[in-house]
């Protein structure tokens, strides 16, 4: 009988790990690729919910501009900016230290920095997948309760390209698929019980930012360069705000290992792994 009660208790504990979300108000978030696009949108939404944010971006000029604008709206004490190249360990650690010094202990990391360069696929792997691995491992080290940290949440930004074939960006799709696998693996309750850190992943479809225009400069082939603009015009883009709202839903629902897809004309939905 005792073993049955123990099993039920463990199941209830695991369900609470999956279901209880984070308290955004008063939290401190570090957002890579935070100077523009989705990163900025995430920052604005978290600030509206009462959080503090540190924007980390390789573009110091745009970052300084965004910092000034967000501080004017949300207060100088609630927003910080630091130049960060997510391919460099020392930059990532320095960004984390700077965020902690200025805003307090970081309890949310959003690995958002990304590129779509099919010609320099090594860079695409190092920024997209390498940046997420680098950041997630650092978060486990800094936030993990087993390391003396407060616990927390990591959200890795992937793409619908991780869940469906993408003939126009094979290297990009490969990195985004790797991000989903990384997040589901480290988002397993086995790791949460050790570290107290949730790992989640967000997979938006084409977002109305300048990312596609930038990617067109470094396409896979001349044939892709010719076909991609026409194909993209057929797709209904989603807004940055739509994705930012989905981020808040993901955080507040707190589904550890959750993979949330965000598409036009649909409510955000979870995509379960094919193998349990």
Residues designated as active site: 172
Q: For residue 202, give the nearest of 161, 168, 150, 166 by alpha carbon.
A: 161
Cα–Cα distance for residue pair 246/252, rounded to 1 Å: 10
Cα–Cα distance for residue pair 131/240, rounded to 1 Å: 21
Bridge partners (DSSP) of residue 80 are 54
Alpha-carbon radius of gyration of the chain: 19
| Beta carbons of 124 and 175 less than 8 angstroms apart | yes
- DSSP for 54-66 reads EEEES-HHHHHHH
Dihedral sign (CA 208, 214, 220, 221): positive
Q: For residue 201, give the nearest of 161, 165, 230 by alpha carbon.
A: 161
| Beta carbons of 171 and 124 less than 8 angstroms apart | yes
Dihedral sign (CA 65, 40, 104, 78): positive
């Amino acid at each position: 009988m005792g073993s049955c009660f123990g099993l039920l208790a463990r199941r209830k504990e695991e369900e609470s790990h999956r279901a209880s979300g984070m308290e955004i108000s008063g939290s401190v978030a570090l957002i890579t690729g935070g100077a523009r696009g989705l990163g900025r949108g995430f920052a604005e939404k978290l600030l509206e919910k009462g959080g503090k944010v540190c924007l980390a971006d390789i573009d110091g000029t745009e970052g300084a501009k965004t910092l000034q604008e967000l501080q004017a709206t949300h207060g100088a004490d609630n927003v910080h900016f630091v130049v960060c190249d997510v391919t460099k360990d020392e930059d990532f650690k320095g960004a984390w230290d700077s965020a902690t010094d200025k805003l307090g202990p970081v309890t949310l990391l959003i690995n958002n920095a990304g590129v779509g360069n099919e010609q320099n696929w090594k860079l695409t792997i190092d920024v997209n997948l390498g940046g997420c691995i680098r950041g997630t491992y650092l978060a486990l080290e800094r936030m993990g309760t087993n390391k003396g940290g407060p616990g927390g949440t990591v959200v890795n930004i992937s793409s619908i390209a991780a869940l469906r074939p993408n003939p126009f960006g094979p290297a990009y799709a490969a990195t985004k698929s790797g991000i989903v696998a990384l997040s589901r693996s480290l988002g397993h309750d086995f790791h949460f019980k050790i570290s107290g850190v949730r790992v989640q992943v967000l997979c938006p479809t084409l977002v109305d930012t300048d990312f596609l225009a930038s990617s067109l400069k470094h396409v896979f082939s001349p044939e892709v360069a010719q076909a991609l603009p026409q194909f993209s015009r057929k797709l209904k883009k989603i807004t940055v705000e739509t994705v930012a709202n989905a981020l808040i839903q993901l955080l507040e629902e707190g589904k550890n290992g959750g993979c949330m897809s965000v598409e036009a004309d649909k409510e955000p939905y979870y995509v379960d792994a094919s193998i349990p």
